[in-house]
Structure 1
């Protein structure tokens, strides 16, 4: 049997206030192509289907299109669990009726020990799902005394272990933060204070563990305990990650192969660094100038409208940083005299760029005196 493991679709996501729905549709079309090309027998989606608990109608329509292509047109079983971005109740609406169509939505924590049994090519595999649930929810729903994420997750895994069929391979799906995993900026923290991680050791005995939540493809404790990663790069901290899906081959004896297959985005997410003029020259011949960009300018002088100038060659610059302006300033401990010179330099650059000619000595002297007066007034008011 061949399974496709994917997670963290985040349908309806905004990236610096820009909708990524078309980008998501683009890679989901590739996902369907991979399913056809690789003769996949079932699809596992390990949570964060949507980006928020009440998704926009366009995101719901996109999910409906993909599930129709898989369940109705290809007759493929799909197993999904809810993540911390999803509303478990909304995602699970109609779950009992949809099983007949091959769509298994595991969002009710009370049913986590009830497996979905998949069958293909003479192989049967049990799939158990642990939807995202914080310890307070586990405690209230199952009347068990658990106080942290790890304790709650251990309890649920033990509950599943008690129901495993000894003669069939078993897959566990879970949306959680496994201890030691590599996080990125776009993942919403599960809790404050750093007590959100769960141990991988209780999951070791499963034939495969399909994880969701962390956006970078990785494994913990063993290659079979694995995050497939998100569909797209959802923050600039993910710029170097290889996004994709995971193929898992499994027979009656267990897992026989695991392979990560890449997805090619409509527009990549990149970080560019350099001086403004050099970046503009580079952009004129950059074949991927439409990528989503964070730009770090190393220029040490003030520049008028750098974003507008960059967007003439890189239309999708989404964020601009100016580390060059902070260099040489002694860790933000400038004295008053150096601050005055810096302000004068910045105003001088601004004057030159707006008027087309440098300030005269008299103008520079007047501005210098004004800056000094403002500095003295500020000190007097402290």
Structure 2
């Protein structure tokens, strides 16, 4: 074998897995189709939810990200029709972090490339998979920057190549696609004051959603996620529609006098795509190759880090010992069910339907009930299983508590 592990795709998921495997003493081939080590994903909000904080700390990524200027968010204010849900700093909700992909991707690539045992093969485009006599995938065929066809073999092949995964396509992995009834655009601003509570804000406008967060270099990212009923408005005059949308946000950021330092980034359609993360023997998918969820709750980057870490945790020891990968991959598959549960909720929310009675009650109650507000924050940060908020006891408490709430614009922490 050329390697213990071949990973296709050197972005968040691929670099995370490669680094973890290399630190475990394994030989890793990390293939990336782009030749430029500074290449990066553009269509990504790069807000890494607090549920990923422990993973970033354990992998020693958190401090390097801070060194590159990443902004940390310790509490987002959430606007609802009942008023602001304002975070409290002492509730133990893990912090989120944001570093633009133009900095994050090269950083992770640098860390992976400097990890002993990892070969970063830039400009290597995978065009086929290699199977043994039993039909088990045990390698890839890649075209080098010079046009040479190269066969590389490994005991484990990992697809970390995004929601349009070439590896998954070549392996014949089925896709489960679900619609998204919102579209999205965002831009970066210099000198755009935030006027809402917390160190970032989310507006639940039903069906529209908006966000405002700090990012690296002192910039502010403002994003809108309107329902598709407003698509024509944005198609005809994107800048004007964006400005009008933000101007109408309660306590929204002040864009007048601010300087927009980027183009508008976004798309008019972002379907949800899911694949089996362990679709064939000795083949695993991580990151968007396994699950490309609704981007509104900002889960993509976190799922990439976490799924890569779970895969390495489950399989590194078996690979090092030369053992049978079947049990190890089943362990990874079980861990990945955490993402599947969240993706089920995300797919339902992506339909942009009005909130149900329980959701409305939880939002109203969270305006004044610190315990429910904390659960809502843990839920939003994907720092626990969905049951942290979606359970009968919370529903009953919210139903009782919400009756005492009247609409309020208070910014006072709970």
Same fold (TM over 0.5): no
Larger Rg over CA atoms: 1
What TM-score, normalized by structure 2, do the two folds share? 0.30
Q: With structure 1 as the length reference, what TM-score do the two structures score?
A: 0.32
